[in-house]
Amino acid sequence: MTKTIQCEIVSAETSVYSGSAEQVVAAGIMGDLGILAGHTPLLTELAPGPVRVLNEGSEEHFYVSGGFIEVQPDKVIVLADAAVRAADLDEAAAEEARKQAVRAMDDKTAEMDYTRAAAELAEAMAQLRTIQQLRKKAGKG
C-alpha cells in the first residue's frame, strides 16, 4: 500500500479539496513541485497554474491563481488566492482574457498599466494550461 498524505486546498472564500493523496503536484514560482508522503517541510510561493492531486490511480485537477504551499511530512496545505476545480474553468472566458491582455500590452496609449496587463496575461495563460492538461488527461487533446 502506498503511503498517503492529507491534502487541503483552500482559497480565501472556501475549501476546495480536503482528502488523502499519494502525490500532489503544484506550479511553484521556480517550477513544478511533486510532493509525496514524508517530504521535507517546505513553504513556498505558488505561481498561477494547475494543482494535481493523485490518489489510488485517480487524478483530480485544480487551478490556483497563486498563493502558497506548506508541506509537512504528513500534510500539504495549498493556501490559494483563488482556487477552483479545473473542470469548472471557462475556456472561452480565459481565451478572451488572454486576448484582452495582449491587446492592452500592445496598445501603448491604453490606460491599463503594462504590469497589470502582464499579470492578467499570465493568469489567463495558466488557466488555459490547466484546461489543456485536463483535456490531455481525458484523451481529448
CATH 1.20.5.440 domain position(s) in the chain? 89-137
pTM (2 decimals)? 0.76
Q: What is the pLDDT of residues 46-79, one digit of tens each?
A: 999 899 999 988 999 999 988 999 999 889 999 9
Confidence of residue 23 (pLDDT cuts 50, 70, 90): very high
Q: Are strands 58-64 and 83-85 parallel, antiparallel or unpaired?
A: antiparallel
Task: Say which residue, 43 or 87, is predicted with more confidence.
Answer: 43
Average pLDDT estimate for 83-91 = 83
Class in CATH terms, 5-86: mainly beta
**Residue 141 in this model has a pLDDT that exceeds 60:** no
CATH 2.60.15.10 domain position(s) in the chain? 5-86
The predicted structure's pLDDT at residue 110: 57
Q: Which three cell numbers stand for residue 130?
A: 490547466
Backbone φ and ψ for 111, nearest 5 degrees, come out as -80, -20
- The CA-based diameter of the chain, rounded to the nearest angstrom, is 60
The predicted structure's pLDDT at residue 130: 82
Architecture of 89-137 per CATH? Up-down Bundle (1.20)
Residues 6+ apart with CB under 8 A from 67: 11, 45, 46, 78, 79, 80, 81, 83
How many CB atoms lie under 10 A from the CB of residue 107? 11
The predicted structure's pLDDT at residue 1: 59
Average pLDDT estimate for 75-86 = 92
Residues 6+ apart with CB under 8 A from 119: none
Q: Which three cell numbers stand for residue 4?
A: 498517503
Shortest CA distance to 123 belongs to which of 94, 89, 100?
94
The predicted structure's pLDDT at residue 12: 86
Q: What is the pLDDT of residues 90-129, one digit of tens each?
A: 778 888 877 888 887 777 665 657 777 777 878 887 888 8
